[in-house]
Structure 1
């Protein structure tokens, strides 16, 4: 993480905004590397995660599972939640405080690092699903990979949705090395199942 973690969060979120902006109407139902999620499901997760962090910080109630939080404008839902989260992280002292969340206690700065890591990983998922370049910041991915190595074991026994780390080819980008460590196949890269790319 750089000396300006708030700027890191803003850069990661802006890269995700660019990807959501690129979603065509026929792509919202398209599959993603998160095998249980469509593109819309994935954006719903990103918005829901922003709202969950806001709830952890006492900004609003915890979002209810199963509710439609995207409405008719997923991009607007994401940008509103991201802006609110950036404002919350900017509150004096929030990075130094410790907060209780679904996965246990963590400081504000650790929660910010988790958020940046999640945005980069799911930004890559979106780029693969949409078939567009990810343009995710490589320096942030390097820092996120270093952080992830302190949080997750290298072996196959991992908590939650994290699969075992995957191999990476020589010359892999920092983003590819990050998502491979988090369990995404990058060599060969994930592609949508034949006949359902772009939601068809």
Structure 2
């Protein structure tokens, strides 16, 4: 059981810590690290490309210093990174790929829920028309991903991805056939409809 003196002492030390930090212009290290991560994530999520780039630089520094992120920070960063796979600015996208490698290496044990997004987005980028230097960074991120996660989990994701692509392709083909049927003579439509639904 705490006495009133203990409670007052705790409150007093908290106040003195705040007043000390405001007098000296510094924030205690444990608080500064949390604020740094929040600031870095806010910059990464910015609509301004130069702020996103600064955020990625800050994140690289945090990761290189082996600063692990909390579960909430990880969730937010995964959401930001999912959007960054489609970043329109070349410099930001290139730096994102470099940061992604560090992120995977530090947090691979915490990213299995995000692996589907990570792996499929990297595979899509491998098939995109990119500069050679950017393509090499995508390949490196893909290599690190392959090395960092269990093979059976990757295989299951690849099968799911392939299945989704197949379903999508069949749907596109089906709609294409319907459009073709609309542009044919009525007599030919009946034969075409039979061909689609057989």
Q: TM-score, normalised by structure 1?
A: 0.27
Bigger helix fraction: 2
Higher Cα radius of gyration: 2
Greater relative contact order (Cα < 8 A, sep 6+): 1
